[in-house]
């Protein structure tokens, strides 16, 4: 498998994630980082977006999903982001980090990082 990577860093989205009542009432900042494993050789050879994984489309689909979602755990949110990316985009593997800035006193953020591939979502 080719190990080319596209990285999306510090995508700031507002959504509902958490267990506490105040976390369920209003949207909060959620920070998403992704590493997309995809073959970039065709795009590099042609210099054409048609042969590439369009990272703008990836980020837009994640923003839409997170803004419309309401999960209790960052683990579930990270898993659903991974599933979305693998299902809708030409990516073989994705590493997703989801953080909640300010969720813990005295910590900049708290979060989870997962790595998934297409096999993880086949039944």
Find the CATH number of the domain harbouring 17. Answer: 3.30.1130.10
For residue range 7-61, list pLDDT tens digits in order. Answer: 999 999 999 998 888 888 889 999 999 999 999 988 888 888 887 899 999 999 9
The Cα–Cα gap between 17 and 116 comes to: 21
Domain residues for the domain of 25 are 5-121
The Cα–Cα gap between 21 and 104 comes to: 16
Q: Tokens standing for 31?
A: 């920070």
Give the total number of structural domains in the chain: 1
**Residue 70 backbone phi and psi in degrees, to 5:** -155, 80
Q: Tokens standing for 61?
A: 């689909």
DSSP character at residue 1: -
Which residue shows structure tokens 């979305």? 84
pTM of the model: 0.92
For residue range 72-115, list pLDDT tens digits in order. Answer: 999 999 999 999 999 999 999 999 999 999 888 898 999 999 99
């Amino acid at each position: 498998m080719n190990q080319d990577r596209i990285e999306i860093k510090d995508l700031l989205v507002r959504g509902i994630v958490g267990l506490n009542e105040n976390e369920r009432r209003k949207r909060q900042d959620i920070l998403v980082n992704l590493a997309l494993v995809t073959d970039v050789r065709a795009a590099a050879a042609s210099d054409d977006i048609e042969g590439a994984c369009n990272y703008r489309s990836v980020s837009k689909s994640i923003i839409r999903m997170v803004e419309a979602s309401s999960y209790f755990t960052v683990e579930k949110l990270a898993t659903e982001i991974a599933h979305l990316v693998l299902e809708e985009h030409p990516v073989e593997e994705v590493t997703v980090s989801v953080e909640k800035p300010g969720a813990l006193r005295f910590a900049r953020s708290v979060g989870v990082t997962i790595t998934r591939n297409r096999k993880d979502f086949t039944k």
